C-alpha cells in the first residue's frame, strides 16, 4: 500500500474527472460568453500560473524578513516584489499586499485604526456603497457605529454638502469613499477637507477604479486619503485578493497588525505572487492603453444603450462601470439578467439609487467594459453588445430571439479567444 497514488505528483485535472469537467466547463463558459460583470476580469496566463504554482505549499506569517516560519527566502522575495511594485504604481510609501480579499483589507484597516464602537461614515449600499463598509449584516456593521450617506435624488451623484453635514453632526473617526456601483468621479480633495473639519481618517476604497488611478485616468486618492484599499482582481486585472496603501509611517504598525493577526492568519503566497504579477503588468505602457480602451469602450456601450432609450444612472460613466435603469422597459434586473445569460451575456442585477424595487428583483443592471476590453473588444463591438442587450430586453421570453443573439455573441467571442 503506497500512502499516495503513483499519479499524485503527475496527473492534474484528469485525476478527478468530476471536478475536472466542472472546471473545463467554466473555461468554456468564459471563452464563449461576454463578461460584463464589473467585479470580474480576464487575467493573463502569467497570473493564472502563479495561482496554480507550488507557492500554495508554503506557509508564512508576518511581514517579509520578519516571519514566524523558516524557509521563507523566496516568499520574502515575492512579497517584497509585490510591495515595491504596488508603491511604485500608486506613488505611495507603504503597502500591505496580504489581504485575502477586499473585504479583509477594509476589516483589517478598521481593526488597526478604530476602536470598537467608533463611528464610520460610509456610502449606503442602496446608493452604490460596498457591503464591507459597515453593512449591518457584516461583522464591521456590528462592531462600529455606521452612519451612511447617499446620492442626490436628481443628480444621482455624491452630495458633498450632505456628507459634510453628516460628518459635523456625527463626528466619525473614519469617512469612506468609493463603492461598488458608483459610476462617477469622486472629489477626494473636497472629502479631505471634510475629514479634516470632522477630525476623521479618510479611507478611499478604489476597487472598481484602481486600474484607472494607476494610469492617471481617474482622480488619484493620494495625497488626500490617509489609507487606500483595493481589490486586485477587478480593474487591476490580477489575482483574487486585496491590498492596503498608505503614506504615513505612524499608521504602519497599526495597519499591518490589523491585517495580521487582526483579521487573517498565514499569507496566501500564490495570491501575493499573482498580485506581484498583475502589478508588474500594470507598470507596463500597455496597461495604460488597456485602461484608455476600457473608458472608450464603456463610453461606446453607454452611448449606444442610451440611443436605444435606456436611462443610465447619473447620466453615464467615468469609471468603466455603469448602472442601467430598466424601469421604462417594464422588466426587472433579475429577469433581464437571466434572459441575457441565455443569450451568452453575463451581467448582474443591481438596485439603482432610490430603487422602488427590492434587491432580489431590482430596477437595474450593472455593467462594465473591463473584461471585454481585456479580450480585445473595441468600440464597435461594444456598440453591438448594446444592441444585443436592447434586443434581449425587448424579447426576454422569446427563445428564438435569445438563441439568435446567442449565436452572434458566440461569433464575436470566437473572434477574440482567451487561453
Ligand X SMILES: *Cc1c(COP(=O)(O)O)cnc(C)c1O
Which of the 8 DSSP states describes residue 151? B
Which of the 8 DSSP states describes residue 62? E
- Which of the ranges 77-85, 96-104, 386-394, 406-414 carries the binding residues for ligand X, by CB under 6 A? 96-104
- In the set 51, 64, 79, 130, which binds ligand X (CB under 6 A)? 130
CB of 355 to ligand X, least distance (A): 18
CB of 3 to ligand X, least distance (A): 37
d(C-alpha 355, C-alpha 359), whole Å:
9
d(C-alpha 285, C-alpha 337), whole Å:
35
129 is in an annotated binding site: yes
379 is in an annotated binding site: no
* Closer to ligand X by Cβ: residue 172 or 344: 172
- Which of the ranges 3-11, 75-83, 101-109, 367-375 carries the binding residues for ligand X, by CB under 6 A? 101-109
Q: Which residues between 132 and 171 bind ligand X (CB under 6 A)?
A: 132
d(C-alpha 229, C-alpha 178), whole Å:
10
Half-sphere exposure of 67 toward its Cβ, with a 13 Å CA cutoff? 20
| Pairing relationship of beta strands 62-63 and 66-67 according to DSSP bridges | antiparallel
- In the set 143, 205, 318, 381, which binds ligand X (CB under 6 A)? 205
158 is in an annotated binding site: no
CB of 234 to ligand X, least distance (A): 6
- From 373, 381, 369, 370, select the one nearest 408 (Cα to Cα): 381
- In the set 33, 35, 39, 67, which binds ligand X (CB under 6 A)? 39
Burial (0-12, 13-18, 19+ Cβ within 10 Å), 217 = middle
Burial (0-12, 13-18, 19+ Cβ within 10 Å), 99 = buried
* Closer to ligand X by Cβ: residue 147 or 300: 147
| Pairing relationship of beta strands 345-346 and 34-35 according to DSSP bridges | parallel
Does residue number 101 form part of the binding site for ligand X (CB under 6 A)? yes
Binding site membership for (6S)-5,6,7,8-tetrahydrofolate: which residues? 129-131, 249
Binding site membership: which residues? 129-131, 249
Which residues are at the interface with ligand X (CB under 6 A)? 39, 101-103, 130, 132, 178-180, 205, 207-208, 231, 242
Amino acid at each position: 500500500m503506497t500512502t499516495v497514488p503513483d499519479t499524485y505528483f503527475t496527473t492534474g485535472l484528469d485525476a478527478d474527472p468530476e471536478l475536472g469537467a466542472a472546471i473545463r466547463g467554466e473555461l468554456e463558459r468564459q471563452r464563449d460568453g461576454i463578461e460584463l460583470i464589473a467585479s470580474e476580469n480576464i487575467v493573463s496566463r502569467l497570473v493564472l500560473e502563479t495561482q496554480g504554482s507550488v507557492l500554495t505549499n508554503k506557509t508564512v506569517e508576518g511581514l517579509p524578513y520578519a516571519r514566524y516560519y523558516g524557509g521563507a527566502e523566496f516568499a520574502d522575495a515575492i512579497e517584497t516584489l509585490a510591495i515595491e511594485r504596488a508603491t511604485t504604481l500608486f506613488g505611495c510609501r507603504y503597502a500591505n499586499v496580504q489581504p485575502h480579499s477586499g473585504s479583509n483589507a477594509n476589516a483589517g484597516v478598521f481593526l488597526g485604526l478604530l476602536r470598537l464602537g467608533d463611528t464610520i461614515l460610509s456610502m449606503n449600499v442602496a446608493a452604490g456603497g460596498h457591503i464591507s463598509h459597515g453593512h449591518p449584516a457584516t461583522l464591521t456593521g456590528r462592531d462600529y457605529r455606521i452612519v451612511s450617506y447617499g446620492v442626490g435624488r436628481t443628480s444621482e451623484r455624491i452630495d458633498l454638502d450632505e456628507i459634510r453635514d453628516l460628518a459635523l453632526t456625527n463626528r466619525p473617526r473614519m469617512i469612506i469613499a468609493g463603492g461598488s456601483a458608483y459610476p462617477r468621479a469622486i472629489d477626494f480633495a473636497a472629502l479631505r477637507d471634510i475629514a479634516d473639519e470632522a477630525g476623521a481618517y479618510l479611507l478611499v476604497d478604489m476597487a472598481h477604479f484602481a486600474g484607472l488611478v494607476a494610469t492617471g485616468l481617474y482622480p488619484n486618492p493620494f495625497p488626500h486619503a490617509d489609507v487606500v484599499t483595493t481589490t486586485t482582481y477587478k480593474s487591476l486585472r490580477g489575482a483574487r485578493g486585496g491590498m492596503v496603501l498608505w503614506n504615513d509611517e505612524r499608521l504602519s504598525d497599526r495597519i499591518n497588525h490589523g491585517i495580521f493577526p487582526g483579521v487573517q492568519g498565514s499569507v496566501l503566497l500564490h495570491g501575493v505572487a499573482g498580485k506581484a504579477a498583475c502589478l508588474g503588468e500594470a507598470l507596463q505602457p500597455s496597461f495604460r492603453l488597456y485602461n484608455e480602451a476600457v473608458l472608450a469602450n464603456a463610453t461606446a456601450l453607454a452611448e449606444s444603450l442610451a440611443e436605444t432609450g435606456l436611462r443610465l444612472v447619473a447620466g453615464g460613466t467615468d469609471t468603466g462601470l455603469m448602472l442601467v435603469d430598466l424601469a421604462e422597459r417594464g422588466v426587472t434586473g433579475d429577469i433581464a439578467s437571466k434572459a441575457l445569460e441565455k443569450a451568452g451575456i453575463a451581467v448582474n442585477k443591481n438596485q439603482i439609487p432610490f430603487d422602488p424595487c427590492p434587491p432580489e428583483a431590482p430596477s437595474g443592471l450593472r455593467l462594465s467594459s473591463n473584461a471585454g476590453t481585456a479580450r480585445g473588444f473595441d468600440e464597435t463591438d461594444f456598440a453591438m453588445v448594446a444592441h444585443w442587450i436592447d434586443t434581449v430586453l425587448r424579447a426576454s421570453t422569446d427563445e428564438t430571439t435569445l438563441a439568435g443573439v446567442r449565436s452572434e455573441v458566440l461569433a464575436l467571442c470566437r473572434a477574440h479567444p482567451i487561453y
